[in-house]
């Protein structure tokens, strides 16, 4: 069953533009970013946006090794 069979308009007929997650993500998470309350006065003051990438196994291993030597482990603040 689809909208076309029932004669109902689809989202494109209603003027909704389809977009990808990558296109929308910056807009959706912008209010939750640090300094979201601050408005830049010029382009030189704008906060750069970073392309988020998952960590690879080597980076994860390095983080875990660094955590083993952390003084926070003695306080029980490092979770394995």
Report the C-alpha gap between 55 and 25 in whole angstroms: 19
Alpha carbon separation from 30 to 24, 61, 70 (Å, rounded): 10, 30, 32
pLDDT tens profile 21-78: 878 877 777 777 766 677 778 877 777 777 778 889 999 999 888 887 777 777 777 6
Residue 39 lies in a domain: yes
Quote the percentage of the chain above a pLDDT of 70. Answer: 84
- Total domains in the fold of the chain: 1
For residue 12, what are the domain limits?
3-73
Residue 58 lies in a domain: yes
Report the C-alpha gap between 37 and 34 in whole angstroms: 8
Residue 57 lies in a domain: yes
Residue 68 lies in a domain: yes
């Amino acid at each position: 069953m689809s909208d076309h069979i029932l004669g109902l308009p689809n989202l494109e007929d209603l003027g909704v533009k389809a977009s990808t997650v990558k296109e929308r993500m910056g807009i959706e998470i912008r209010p939750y970013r640090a300094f979201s309350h601050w408005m830049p006065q010029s382009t030189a003051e704008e906060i750069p946006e970073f392309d988020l990438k998952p960590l690879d196994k080597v980076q994860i291993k390095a983080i875990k090794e660094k955590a083993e030597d952390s003084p926070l482990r003695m306080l029980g603040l490092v979770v394995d």
